[in-house]
Chains A and B, each alone.
Chain A
């Protein structure tokens, strides 16, 4: 099955700096890669996603890049703010069959220091 590895597990940055979280996946058939933000005690919320026919996608301060050859994708947050502090999860999904199940990474605890 699919395996997703995520690094680092914890990340501290100063407010205003950039943060980068990296994920690798094992199954080259995976074609959809969402990123979720989960604040303490709350539900995971989709912040950005990318499909395999695109190399990069940006939404204001957040961007995701995908390298299909190397089977890795990254989340970039610029001009970080204290409210960006949360656990971030990457995920990957295969198109095989009809089940749109997501395989998640283990999460990155991001702390933005004021």
Chain B
């Protein structure tokens, strides 16, 4: 298992609400990426944070926003939730050290259900 952790494990929200998901990166990793994985599909890149700055963004609307803290942990915030936001949200960290700078290690994910 990797050292990447996420909370909460599961979350149920209603349409229009806001949600915050959290990720702690593996020790020594300064880069965190967030992905959305819909049922039966591959993960889709949302955005990436490197040393507290957004470092790339996928094709997701502005109501998906994020933050990275000095300890490299990260948050994903989603406003005005829609039914289609129901998915597994994965964070992945990478950085210098084991596996090399390219290798992304995933957390266990947060399963978000929007009713």
CB closest chain-B residue, reference A2:
B45
Please give, as numbers and ranges, the residues of chain A lying within 8 Å of B94 by CB-CB distance.
100
The complex places the Cα of A46 from the Cα of B94 at a distance, in Å, of 12
Report whether A100 and B45 are in contact in the complex, using a CB–CB cutoff of 8 Å.
no
Interface membership of chain B positions 81-112, coded 1 if the CB is closer than 8 angstroms to chain A and 0 otherwise: 00000000010101000010111111111000
Q: How many residues of A contact B (CB 8 A)?
A: 27
Interface membership of chain A positions 87-98, coded 1 if the CB is closer than 8 angstroms to chain B and 0 otherwise: 001010100011
The complex places the Cα of A36 from the Cα of B90 at a distance, in Å, of 13
The complex places the Cα of A91 from the Cα of B107 at a distance, in Å, of 17
A-B pairs with CB below 8 Å: how many? 69
Please give, as numbers and ranges, the residues of chain A lying within 8 Å of B33 by CB-CB distance.
100-102
Knowing A43-B90, A43-B109, the reply to whether A100 touches B40 (Cβ < 8 A) is: no
The answer to whether the Cβ of A65 comes within 8 Å of any Cβ in the partner chain is: no
Knowing A34-B104, A98-B56, A101-B56, the reply to whether A44 touches B45 (Cβ < 8 A) is: no
In order of increasing CB-CB distance, the 9 nearest A-B pairs are A99-B56, A104-B42, A101-B45, A43-B106, A43-B108, A44-B106, A99-B55, A32-B102, A99-B48
